Amino acid sequence: MPLDQGSEAPRGPIRFGVVGYGWRADFYFRLARLVPDRFQCVGAVTRKAEVGERLEREWNIPTYRRPEDLVSSGAPEVVVTSVPREANPDVIRALVGLDTAVLSETPPAEDADGMRRLWADVGAADLVQVAEQHPYLPVVVAVRSLIEQGVLGDVTSAQVSWTHDYHATALLRTLLGVRAEPARVSAVHTTTPVLEGPDRGGWPDVQRVQDVVHTLSILDFAGRTGVYDFTDGQWFHPWRRRHLILRGSRGEIVGNDVIWAGEDGRPLSAPIVRRHLGLDGNLEGADLDTLSWAGRVLYRNPYPGARLSDEEIAIATCLERTGLWRRGEAAAPYPLADACQDHLLGLAVHEAAERGAPVTTAVEPWADAVRLP
């Protein structure tokens, strides 16, 4: 998971196709519309012709009924799978069989056995990346930059209360620099009352307090500790904000605040500062510009002028990195092996909570292929 942000446009837009449709697929269609110099959607696959006709009208793209037709007619460099998780493995197998690079929906398979079968079938082909955008969110890239610069010293613990399952474990493993070694996972599920917030469909017509599941877990990676803290529906809930705590031998990060030991050992502090355009009298456009810290730019928006949300920036980065990887111009952004490991850890969190006892993950067949984040 390289930190370079690809601020310079690649040689021609990344040509991609999509298998499936719906809320997640629309992110990719929007990218092709909003950043046409970097992304070109060459078509989508839908089983039903009437769905295809709707996509053709809405997004001005050709549609096909089979992945084979998309690959032969559209010549995509990458095909994004956006289908239900139970269908995803077979779609991946079909595309790999066509010698096509895949950017798979998360997770790549339903459970551990499904991931082992998928890895046995396609792992050696090295054609599959997974659309895990969270390590590429701007603030996460900024924090990773501070880690790589050694500002925090040896990072030993990370706490994430932000997103769920494999997304959260991807963040924990990335921030802690953990690969595929066994982890001892303990967890608990409790219920807590929370005022209902928005979901994918927007705000509820009538707000009410609901009992939701709160999951708290500790993942012990033999000396490095990850804390998983998630309340159902937290993704964009205004009353359950993002919480990120990262601790190292020379300092810590709490939210956007950084404290660290200077060269003389005295404590210093400075926040990670977001420069967002279009505020007050600024006429540069409504866009993220940079994230900086103590006079250093840690992150620069690689898609200026597109007015993308942070989530869209991260999704675009993952897609572009996959295309550049396929061209041989960049390292793999988030390989199948990493996705399998993170989903394995997410499954272990829930297993431990349901058992009421710790679970220790095993070394899996994909372990040697997991990249150091």
Whose CA is closest to 150, among 170, 171, 173, 177? Answer: 177
What's the rounded Cα separation, in Å, for the pair 138 and 365?
Answer: 32
Q: What local confidence, expressed as pLDDT, does residue 2 receive?
A: 45
CA-CA distances (angstroms) from residue 327 to 24, 78, 178?
25, 10, 28
Q: What local confidence, expressed as pLDDT, does residue 1 receive?
A: 47
- Residue 232's CB is within 10 A of a number of other CB atoms, namely 18
- The span from the first CA to the last CA of the chain, in angstroms, equals 5
CA-CA distances (angstroms) from residue 263 to 152, 251, 268?
12, 12, 10
Residues 6+ apart with CB under 8 A from 132: 106, 166, 167, 170, 318, 334, 338, 339, 342
Q: What local confidence, expressed as pLDDT, does residue 20 receive?
A: 96
What's the rounded Cα separation, in Å, for the pair 216 and 159?
Answer: 10
Class of domain 135-308: alpha beta
Q: Strand (E) positions, 21-154?
A: 39-45, 63-64, 78-82, 101-104, 128-130
Whose CA is closest to 227, among 156, 159, 140? Answer: 159
Q: What local confidence, expressed as pLDDT, does residue 371 receive?
A: 87
Mean pLDDT for the stretch of residues 365-372:
91
Structural domain boundaries of the chain? 14-134, 135-308
Q: What local confidence, expressed as pLDDT, does residue 372 receive?
A: 65
What's the rounded Cα separation, in Å, for the pair 237 and 197?
Answer: 6
Question: Which of 16-25, 39-48, 195-204, 244-253 has the weakest average pLDDT?
Answer: 195-204
pTM: predicted TM-score of the whole model, two decimal places? 0.94
Residue 240 near residue 234, CB atoms below 8 Å: yes
Mean pLDDT for the stretch of residues 325-336:
96
CATH fold of the domain at 14-134: Rossmann fold (3.40.50)
Q: Is 138 helix (H, G, I), strand (E, B) or coil?
A: helix
Band of the pLDDT at 230, cuts 50, 70, 90? very high
Q: Is the confidence at residue 3, as pLDDT, over 80?
A: no
Same fold, 14-134 and 135-308: no
Tokens of 119: 């890895």
